[in-house]
Structures are given as C-alpha cells and as structure tokens.
Amino acid sequence: MFTTGRRLALASGLAFAIPSLIAGTAAVAQPADVAAVDKAIAELRDAMLTADRAKLTALLSNELSYGHSAGRLETKAQFLDVVAGKKTLYKSMAFSDATTSVAGNNAIVRHVMTVDTETDGKPATAKVGALQVWVKDGGAWKLLARQAFRL
C-alpha cells in the first residue's frame, strides 16, 4: 500500500489526538466518581447511625478489613454483628478535613471523624483520623478497607 503525505499527516494527527481524547474522558469521569464515593460515604454514615443491616451489607465489600484506632480489626461479618446488632450504638458521627481521590476502580478517602457511641450502656466520644479504601464493584462503590488512628 502506497502512503501519501496526506495519510501520514492524518495518522500523525490521530496519534496525538487520541491520547488527549482519552485523557479528557478520564478527567470528566473522575469528578463524577469522587461525587459517587462521597455519596457512598454519607450513606455508610447514615446506615451506621440507624444500624441498617441491609444498607450496610450493600455498602461493604465481602473482603472488608475494618481497623479501629485501638488496633482491633473486624471482617464484614464482625462489623455487621457489632453495628447492625447494636452492640455499639452510633449516636452521632461527623467528618472533617475530608479528601477523596479516585484511581481507576479504587478510591482513597482520608478524614477526621468525631463520633459519639454507646457500648454496653457506656457512652464514649472519640476523635480519630481515618483512611478508607473504596472499590468499584459492579458499578457500586464499596468499602474495602478502613483504618482509624489516634490523633
């Protein structure tokens, strides 16, 4: 096949244009993903406050690793048992200094969490930092890992 200058110019132009178009699409998709992750975080907060097992189940990855600031780790089943089983009641929960970044099908969230709880009739208040890792699973964002740490 004979290549003309016109075909070569067209191919060169496409070689430069296609990566720009792909990057532009990714740039547009990321704010939507950040908003979707932030919405999932708010839904998780509400589900914890209401001890809603169905919503919690939908928002948590089956491989969940949930770390507390005291070093205790929970699986999805253990977390559901504590929160939906009302062993710990979440009275209030607020997030501050939140950042959310998305990398492909993963999201990294950092925030400061202030929470009022009641466990075995004993009220407690905590203010901790937290790192959350969310994964997009079947089009829905699910919490894969969470680690809190003392400030």
The residue among 73, 78, 45 whose CA lies nearest residue 59 is 45
DSSP 8-state code for residue 99: E
The residue among 1, 150, 145 whose CA lies nearest residue 73 is 145
d(Cα 30, Cα 96) in Å, to the nearest integer?
22
- Does the predicted TM-score (pTM) go above 0.75? yes
Domains assigned to the chain: 34-150 (3.10.450.50)
pLDDT per position in the chain (151 positions), as tens? 455 555 544 444 444 444 444 444 444 457 899 999 999 999 999 999 999 999 999 999 999 999 999 999 999 999 999 999 999 999 999 999 999 999 999 999 999 999 999 999 999 999 999 999 999 999 999 999 999 999 9
